[in-house]
A and B are shown apart, each in its own frame.
Chain A
Amino acid sequence: MIQLEDVSKIFESPLKQVEVLIKITLEVKNGEFIVVKGPSGSGKTTLLLSIGGMLRPTSGNIRINDKNIYLLSDRERTKFRALNIGFVFQMFYLIPYLNVLENTMLSGGLKDIGTKRGKALKLAEDLGLSDRVMHRPSELSAGECQRVALARALIHQPEIILADEPTGNLDKENSSEVVRILAHYHQNGGTVIMATHGDDADKIADRIILLNKGEI
């Protein structure tokens, strides 16, 4: 269960203060598929990064399975994230000098290299990347890159996937494929929170949350 209690996030600069999230209260049950929609600048990315332990809220609490993740030390939170959370971003953020297999194995959640490699190869096969495992990101299409990013997020079988506009750079066909993969993960009991502009995932979402100017 993910619980947000009055979570606010303010970004401060020398010239101004920007309130990106305003008193967000939200509960996400285990195994739910939540779609977060809103215009650019509404706070979707900030919300996902906060839930993922990457962005400390200015105020409020965020609990995952009754654990207040921002009361953990940085090291503990890193470890928590490694074991429990998988991120998928619009820009993929693959390491350019690593091949598909190595990018997939990048997750810090699994220590045993043998296990990691086996899982990475299996995932590559499941995601239609078997013949591309030795290719670098520059040699892949956008759709293939996003599937690699998904594989990286899934390899350690996290409880939660946080996907920030994963279809934003993809065509319709690849977007559908990404949503299918997330749906499959959800069907197997995983929790998904997906930020998006489009309606790709509306049909499979348990809930759709509209975010506007930092408020639900």
Chain B
Amino acid sequence: MQIIGIVGTAKNTGKTTALTSILDSLSKNEFSLGVTSIGYDGEDIDNLTFLPKPRIFLKEGVIIASSSLTFETSKIKYEILYETDIYTPLGKVIIAKVLEPGKIVLAGPNNIKDLKKIIALFKTLNTDFLFVDGAMNRMAPMYLADKVIFSTGASRSTEIKNIVEEISLISLIFNKNIMPQYDINSNCFFVKNGELLETEIKSLLTKDDLLKLFSYRPENYEKVVIKNIFSSAVVKEFVQEILKKKDTYEMVFLEPFRLLLSMNDISISEFRRMFTNNINISFIYKPSLIAITVNSFYPKYENFHFTAGYIDKYLLKKSVVEGVTVPVFDIFEEGSKDLVKLLS
């Protein structure tokens, strides 16, 4: 089973459009499809802006994981396969097969622990694909996916250069290698001459944590492994420190999304330095980034309400294509026929 995550850099970047288009393209084949969401997706009007939103239309045979209340308010006919003990604000998560097609709002497991359980259950159902729709700009559980698609666009920023700066960095991050797991429990540790030097540090959250980490640091270490959070508060000092070293040098993180969590307007330039200098970065887990979708729509706020706004879609796509190393699609314009070819 392939787990495909659709991650947004912000709300309204076109994740659901991408998902529904992909589901539609794939439904013509014989694939068995599974779908869930880590948020709440497919509503007819946006919870915040009250603008209309695309709804998720499911065909017969699709297997979904969603909360009990979403089944109550949908007209699809379904057969329950599993009733889990996972709860979201909308009730228990149920895995069901669609018997008669219809529209539904998806609200599945919204955290790492629960998504792991759902993935395990889907594996017993022998689905070919499990699509995990993202929510807003949330992404922590997405490292469990095999492949990811990032959706970005004018909702992230109406300035194309800002969109490109972020997505090109994301593309760079996902280009890094995968490093095998080390067999120790420690969250932060150093590697020198093949030996592992453990620390008791749980996360690099604050500057204090960083100082403590440096106190453990052996001379001429080759690698530092940081499995937990690498926060925006420590990036600058850490990068400065590392760039002092002359030799090439390795940093290993658990997975790329926890780095993205720490990326903000201030730390983004530090991250760029981290990824473009003589630092080898690798991840223990890393879904492959197979595609990026772009969306020129954004909710424009004027006169106390929201209306639909658009930036130049040709310039947007062109600029993103130039900044990344994976294929870029404007689903609304092109559909997903070519994107789905990248899935198998």
Q: Do the two chains bind?
A: no
